[in-house]
Structure 1
Amino acid sequence: MATRRAFTLVELLVVIAIIGVLVALLLPAVQAARESARRMNCQSNLKNLALAGLNFESSFRKLPPAARDREGPKWTDTVKPPPLARHNGLSLILPYFEQGATFAGIDYQWDWDNTNPTGNETHTKQQLGGILICPSGSASRERFHITDYLVINRVEIASKSPNTKYDPPGGSIKKLITAGLVDSRGGAKNYDRRWDGAMQVDLYDQTPPNDMTAAGVKPRRNVRLARVTDGTSKTMMFTESVGKPEILTIDGSLGENSSANNEFRWASQETYSTLQFYCRDQQLINCTNRYRPFSTHAAGLNIALLDGSVRFHTEEIDPDAFISLITMAAGESAGDF
């Protein structure tokens, strides 16, 4: 009678080793495919947000603001509403991305977090999810009512330094101009409209003499597409700033900190960005998610443009080219990337 030959221990170990090698070879490919799917989903979210903003523009003949805000003391009157209620621009386009019920529950004469005489806070401090969340971002942030997408309203040209307690080392955009890495736009000073993005902060100064200015700066109201002379296909609308309130930097995570990284609520007038700093030698993308464009995609991030398209730009993008994408009427072209 013939005997059946079994696997030897050595043969079994060889088979296990081969399987291990195959898994090691396949796993990166699987992870890459999953990240590619997440990035495409993120691009779809941004495209839908851009289309919502453009539908708003079609209805009101102006782009939605980055936010509505006012200067001066806290509004305490519970009978008379403030001259301009504080809201994020995302709140104004809610009906255009299937959030009409939330939009209908908010009284826009009062601040987004008002509780008396309205129930605004009940409607705005809720997690909308959907197209406001990038799937590549960390999970379990629902309790913070977050958005992973925001507006860069302008480029700031001032002698400032990043907060190195939370932010990676770097410097101001003004330093990049001095170094010849960013064009000065004809010597435009800080707050010059040549540094403006397409979606501005609708601002009201309620301190005397109520002259609709803040620190001597006229508010940028009612931006029409006709004012975007640099071209809608070369001007930014929304970009990623993923992962808040966890502090993410080019050097890693500093942990969750909803105080230091507080620009995350979709309804808050504070959730927008003014580009001020670079990191390393001249990098503007993926330095930190505090006040800046940041993604957890590999080596770049998605940007929605005013023509409704979405593009992925790498961290190596020339700083002047990236700033050209932000500005709407600086007389330059971002070119093709």
Structure 2
Amino acid sequence: MEIHSPGRKNRGFTLVELLVVIAIIGVLVGLLLPAVQQAREAARRIHCTNNLKQIALGFHYYHDAFSALPRAGAGVNSAPPLVAILPYIEQSALADTYDSKMSWDAVANKDAMKGKMPKAYVCPSSPEGGKALGIIIFSSDFIGLQTSDYLFRTNAPSIDDPTEELGDTFFPYRKNSQFRNATDGLSHSILMHEQAGGTEYYCGKRKVEYPFPLPGGSPWIAPPGTQHMQVQCVDMGGYDVNNYAGVGGVINITNAYIYTPYSFHTGGVQTTMGDGSVHFLSESMDIYVFSYLSACNDGQVVGGDF
């Protein structure tokens, strides 16, 4: 027998109450989502830092073994820097498949390296990280090869006169260098910096769509070309009207085929110095300061924590 309390009746939520609850949940999710995204990016940035530290250690181990750093413009009888350090970042099996008696673009070497780039060369914040290059406008040598999100500098051009060099980098083109050449100090000279998303071309954080395939970087087994400091994004209609270059900046403007510092982190790029330390360089860094850090023996020592 059911007993009903007088004056009391069972009822569910009204439509208004349900809408209020849903609205509150939506507000909470809206508040939490940015925090979750920030936490994820912080984790990716730590991972990126660890990648750069591992690569820097690989170069130091290589230097200990050969009393010099690998040549940037490797041809026959030498391997490109990111290939040369493979045995020193626990990738000996992959290193054994590369024949240093042939150039990097020999069919056997390209076939051996396609799809095999170490994960340590990929920034987890890069949306195209580890993606292989397809057909591009100016070369068929790159097809199927991946681009590294980390770049070693081969030259340090003067800002005032791009035809002049400020000094040497750790990887001067077609000659070996030693850490002792860094008279500015290992902790004040860039060993590598991010140049991410190389399978696509970005202006700011916007992907630029062309009617023909155009990448931002070159294959990880290829020596990079001449590196520049004077940068400006180029879009279909000519120079980008938004002028991402601004005044005096060089970081995160573009990842175009001129090898400037670029990342998908907010506010700057990760950089490892000659001593293996990793620093986050701000987008607000002056182009002159970055150029002084790029050369290891120009006599322009940048103090502070950058």
Which moves more between the two structures, 231-240 or 145-154?
145-154
Match of 1:133 in 2: 122
Alpha-carbon displacement from aligned partner over 1:296-337 (angstroms, at most 9, x marks no partner): 000100001110111101100122221121110111211112
Segments of 5+ residues of structure 2 without an aligned counterpart are 134-145, 232-244
Q: 2:204 aligns with which of 244, 250, 273?
A: 250
For the 8 Å contact 1:87–1:269, the answer to whether it is kept is no
What is the TM-score with the length of structure 1 in the denominator?
0.75
Q: 1:287 aligns with which of 249, 253, 263?
A: 253
Match of 1:89 in 2: 81
Match of 1:123 in 2: 112
For the 8 Å contact 1:127–1:142, the answer to whether it is kept is no
Q: 2:171 aligns with which of 199, 205, 227?
A: 199
Relative contact order higher in (CA < 8 Å, ≥ 6 apart) = 1
Q: 1:264 aligns with which of 218, 228, 245?
A: 218
Change (3 A) 1:262 1:28: closer
Amino acid at match of 2:297: A
Mapped to 2, the partners of 1:86 and 1:263 lie a distance apart of 22
1:326 and 2:298 aligned: no
1:274 and 2:274 aligned: no
Match of 1:169 in 2: none
Mapped to 2, the partners of 1:128 and 1:201 lie a distance apart of 22
Tell me by how many angstroms 1:240 deviates.
0.5
Tell me by how many angstroms 1:243 deviates.
0.6
Mapped to 2, the partners of 1:262 and 1:248 lie a distance apart of 7
Tell me by how many angstroms 1:225 deviates.
1.3
Q: Which has the higher strand share?
A: 1
Q: Tell me how many residue pairs correspond in the alignment.
A: 272
**Larger radius of gyration, structure 1 or 2?**
2
Tell me which stretches of 4 or more aligned residues in structure 1 moved more than 6 Å: none
Instruction: Report matched runs for 1:218-233 at 5 Å.
Output: 221-233=175-187
Tell me by how many angstroms 1:16 deviates.
0.8
**C-alpha RMSD of matched pairs (Å):** 2.2
Match of 1:21 in 2: 27
Change (3 A) 1:196 1:302: same
Mapped to 1, the partners of 2:189 and 2:64 lie a distance apart of 18
Amino acid at match of 1:24: G
Question: Secondary structure in 2 aligned to 1:153?
Answer: coil
For the 8 Å contact 1:146–1:244, the answer to whether it is kept is yes
Give identity over the alignment, percent: 33
Question: Secondary structure in 1 aligned to 2:207?
Answer: strand
What is the TM-score with the length of structure 2 in the denominator?
0.82
Tell me by how many angstroms 1:22 deviates.
0.5
Segments of 5+ residues of structure 1 without an aligned counterpart are 70-83, 158-172, 178-188, 203-220
Change (3 A) 1:112 1:139: same
Change (3 A) 1:200 1:259: farther
1:42 and 2:48 aligned: yes
For the 8 Å contact 2:200–2:216, the answer to whether it is kept is no
